Structure 1
């Protein structure tokens, strides 16, 4: 079992707000790219030493990666400048709260350059196949990203400049994801077939596995060869350290994972252990929701996994219940101390506790100056884990303890209604077929990109 940590512990409706959420949702919302399958199938590079008759222990004469560390390259004639790398790197540093050491920053620069090279190859290959992403599409997607921040595009431009990045950096990433996904839909997806027998086999296995655990897994996959294994493992450990310090798993997956699921923050979707490589299945089985493990050796490289959620196969889960909630919130004046906030929160909780049901919540809100917001059809599973545990045990009319922060204010949720989860049903044949097709498309996509790398003319300056 690899080291396991639980980095996500904050509570509140803004727990996933800010720049970290943007890195997860920006191009995802823009492109609509979907990815389901784990990309842990190796590229057969692990046998390179045998094929080339290389010694197991090699000595490097001279500085390692001297050109790469300058972080500029020309990819089939397309220039990647130091500014391109700096601005993309700034997104990652900002996502990590600016807490990145100089040594780690140098490692990140190397990885960012590699990612920009892949992104360039994807855009070039799409263009060679007469696939073009219009500027209007990119701008429209960028507007949605800005809207997620409750900002206009102009305001968001300014914010990015303040962070040392630019709108051009995000737009380039959006363009790459759109172009690549369209290329796959044209050149790979039409040639992937799934038979009815295969679908039936999946249904039979799911029915046989009823009641067993399945996980929603996030994965960061880094390819490695025997020659660079130590360096890749060190990089993976550094990523884990940054996430432990509050960095966003999804942000690091988007920037560093070499799997096609990077476009969706590394989200593999719901998988059962038998669908994962043995190494990942063993680790996931011993983890709790919110934990991260790695680096885990897998065919062709190493993986970092994050357990996003957990449930029983084809079994009703109480966390699938739909809730009708009423949220009451109050903000703190500027300059409020922690002690003052705690006192105000305690008084707020006592006032809410005196409310008998949701019917009196609006009246209380008016008396104490609280904002009242109705939230219907909220799936319990979609709330922060800490709130899930509390709400599972509340009856209609009861309220949560106060939660929040000095900056965001304090709030409570009152349960106004609950529709319990019904018995879970197996996905239909169309859904299963789509997932199997997606798995095969993703596997071929990795091979496609590997071939593009090998055929490319790349000059480092």
Structure 2
């Protein structure tokens, strides 16, 4: 205020020395009717006055705000954290992704493929529902992480546009013969009992000119994955394969169905493991093994159980020493349950709660319980598990429906071969779009 008063005083002195005529009468304030406060209190985040273009792709703009908000999605996928020394590199990768996304939308638009707002709304509702949220709650969560619902809408639009364009321009030109499907089925029958894998893939395209940079990027991604980042989240943001939209999921595959460098790596991996970067034709892949099973053999973990769960709880503040005799008696009762009907008696004797489930897959249980349940027979119960604080429980098997063999059908093999060829052509198509695009960086 003092500085402002001083400036006004100097200006007044200069005006007097110029002996200028007196100023005209003050003009009425045009905002008087709004009754605005003299010192307004601001809420929320101030929007930048100018949003500068970072890139212009065939006349359409990607802004720094677009990059920041898409980076926010990546932060969420990474558990809310990103190493400070990685941010600049990730921004460059996000910019490349946004350019590809815009090229895909433009290519779809050129083929009269328009993604309607209602299609995006339905996908958003499904995404929010999968996270047990409304779209409004999802929007608030995105904003809390520096992103926005509009950024997610744009990503969904790109994925839908590219998927529809592939169906229109690529899938229609791909053919798979019955003899090819039969050859795969024959090889699978010959490989009966060997292992197959549920695989996720992150693919980064590379050529002789940028192979070292692509490998460096792959190693950075691998570092984040080994620090707990979401494989599916990184696949959606970084993978250049058509499976990016489904988190890189390749489904169930046998090593011989994949390029040899990947096949050789898979044979050395187990569930939950992520590979080092693998050089393949056209680029670099990182693969993750989500699960394994035997080819054309029934997997006991796919058995469907009918279960009764008996839970007992303890008074708040009870010590472990006080609780252990009760748990011991509970364990003894479980060992002598006497069939599924005995679960009701145990619940009554221990004043416990009983819950029944008739469609429980062993595969869906926690791994520790899977190992316990696999050898148990109908009428047997698990040992007690849980905690003194949250309660202790047992599971009693009332029925077991063993899994059928996992032989794929003719249609399933056809679909997989078709997807592989579509994926290869889609990568080439996107490469051509990049080559022909007019891109300006600002």
Mark yes or no: TM-score above 0.5.
yes
State the match for 1:153 in structure 2: 135
Structure 1 residues 411 and 188 mapped into 2: Cα distance closer, same or farther (>3 Å)? farther
Q: Does 1:142 align with 2:121?
A: no
After superposition, give the CA deviation of every residue in 1:165-211 in whole Å (9 maximum; x if it has no partner). Answer: 11112211111111111111111212222222222212211111111
CA distance in 2, matches of 1:424, 1:392: 18
Q: In structure 2, the residue corresponding to 1:294 is in which secondary structure?
A: coil
Number of residue pairs matched by the alignment:
387
Contact 1:391–1:400 (8 Å) recurs in 2: no
Contact 1:324–1:415 (8 Å) recurs in 2: yes
Matches within 5 A, 1:22-421: 72-326=54-308, 351=330, 354-355=333-334, 356=337, 359=341, 373-396=355-378, 397-399=380-382, 402=385, 413-421=395-403
Contact 2:381–2:394 (8 Å) recurs in 1: no
Contact 1:323–1:380 (8 Å) recurs in 2: yes
CA distance in 1, matches of 2:230, 2:396: 30
CA distance in 2, matches of 1:146, 1:441: 29
Q: Does 1:458 align with 2:439?
A: yes
- When normalised by structure 2's length, the TM-score is 0.77
1:256 CA displacement: 0.7
Structure 1 residues 137 and 395 mapped into 2: Cα distance closer, same or farther (>3 Å)? same
Contact 1:274–1:281 (8 Å) recurs in 2: yes
Q: In structure 2, the residue corresponding to 1:116 is in which secondary structure?
A: helix
Q: Which runs of 5+ in 1 are unaligned?
A: 1-69
Structure 1 residues 424 and 100 mapped into 2: Cα distance closer, same or farther (>3 Å)? closer
Q: Which runs of 5+ in 2 are unaligned?
A: 1-51
Q: In structure 2, the residue corresponding to 1:120 is in which secondary structure?
A: helix
Q: In structure 2, the residue corresponding to 1:305 is in which secondary structure?
A: strand
Q: In structure 1, the residue corresponding to 2:276 is in which secondary structure?
A: strand
CA distance in 2, matches of 1:117, 1:139: 23
State the match for 1:444 in structure 2: 425
Structure 1 residues 76 and 382 mapped into 2: Cα distance closer, same or farther (>3 Å)? farther
Contact 2:313–2:388 (8 Å) recurs in 1: no
CA distance in 2, matches of 1:435, 1:225: 26
Structure 1 residues 243 and 347 mapped into 2: Cα distance closer, same or farther (>3 Å)? farther
Higher relative contact order structure (alpha carbons within 8 Å, sequence separation ≥ 6): 1
Contact 1:329–1:371 (8 Å) recurs in 2: yes
1:403 CA displacement: 5.5
Structure 1 residues 373 and 367 mapped into 2: Cα distance closer, same or farther (>3 Å)? same
Contact 1:71–1:109 (8 Å) recurs in 2: no
CA distance in 2, matches of 1:455, 1:130: 19
Contact 1:326–1:415 (8 Å) recurs in 2: yes
Structure 1 residues 281 and 347 mapped into 2: Cα distance closer, same or farther (>3 Å)? farther
CA distance in 2, matches of 1:123, 1:313: 40
1:366 CA displacement: 8.8
Structure 1 residues 364 and 152 mapped into 2: Cα distance closer, same or farther (>3 Å)? farther
Instruction: Please identify the structure whose Cα radius of gyration is greater.
Output: 2
CA distance in 2, matches of 1:283, 1:224: 20
Structure 1 residues 309 and 341 mapped into 2: Cα distance closer, same or farther (>3 Å)? farther
1:369 CA displacement: 9.1
Contact 1:224–1:302 (8 Å) recurs in 2: yes
Answer with 345-354 or 445-454: which moved more. Answer: 345-354
1:345 CA displacement: 11
Please report the RMSD computed on the Cα atoms of aligned residues, expressed in angstroms: 3.4
State the match for 1:430 in structure 2: 411
1:318 CA displacement: 1.2
State the match for 1:58 in structure 2: none
1:161 CA displacement: 1.1
Q: In structure 2, the residue corresponding to 1:308 is in which secondary structure?
A: strand
